[in-house]
């Protein structure tokens, strides 16, 4: 016996009942942003300044005789200029995770088109999967001036782009993409977090 639309609506809106399949349909996917910096020279100079300042502070705290205050110091204007250079080299990647079925379809296709072997390292598969997930997860890329990149993101363009980045910055992008696409553990951590 078929159930008519009015009975279905009545059952669906009845207190203490709901349709679990309707509830999960269209489940949203996570979004995130990550900033990638490209001015390695400014980053290195800033790192050296801060390391020297930390070492000087540690020596002063422990009353250790070492380098004079004139060595490896930078004035505020130099530090500000380096911060500005670094900030100007930032690219903000807006990311959106793929639906689980879409991700599974990508993995299945790549298993069939690469030399994938169960239980082995599968470097070719992993690299292709990472590049594909990045390409499909990028919503937009904005530079420090607010301009939005017009690039089309494909496996090839992702590979070419990440080859130009320093490893630490490429890893930031890889990590952010992994987070928006593999959120299993994040659900438990978010639910159990104590924000008080």
Please, which residues have CB within 8 angstroms of residue 94's CB and are 6 or more apart in sequence?
31, 33, 138, 139, 140, 141, 142
Mean pLDDT value of segment 53-65: 75
Chain center to CA of 146: 19
Q: If pLDDT is split at 50, 70 and 90, which confidence band does 28 have?
A: confident
pLDDT at 37: 95
H-helix or E-strand spanning residue 111: helix 100-113
Mean pLDDT value of segment 135-163: 95
The pLDDT tens digits for 108-145 are 999 999 888 888 888 999 999 999 999 999 999 999 99
Q: Tokens for 91? A: 């690219």
CB atoms within 10 A of CB 6: 8
CB atoms within 10 A of CB 170: 17
pTM for the whole thing? 0.71
């Amino acid at each position: 016996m078929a159930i008519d639309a009015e009975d279905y609506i009545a059952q669906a809106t009845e207190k203490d009942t709901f349709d679990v399949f309707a509830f999960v349909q269209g489940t949203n996917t996570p979004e995130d942003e990550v900033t990638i910096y490209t001015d390695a020279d400014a980053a290195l100079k800033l790192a050296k300044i801060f390391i020297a300042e930390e070492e000087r502070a540690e020596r002063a705290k422990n009353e250790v005789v070492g380098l004079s205050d004139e060595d490896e110091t930078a004035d505020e204007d130099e530090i500000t200029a380096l911060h500005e250079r670094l900030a100007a080299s930032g690219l903000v990647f807006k990311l959106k995770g793929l639906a689980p079925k879409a991700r599974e379809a990508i993995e299945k296709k790549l298993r069939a088109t690469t030399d994938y072997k169960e239980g082995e390292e599968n470097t070719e598969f992993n690299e292709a999967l990472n590049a594909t997930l990045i390409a499909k997860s990028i919503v937009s890329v904005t530079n420090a001036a607010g301009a939005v990149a017009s690039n089309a993101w494909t496996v090839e363009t992702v590979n070419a782009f990440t080859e130009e980045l320093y490893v630490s910055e490429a890893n930031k992008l890889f990590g952010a993409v992994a987070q928006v696409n593999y959120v299993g553990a994040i659900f438990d951590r978010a639910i159990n977090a104590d924000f008080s």
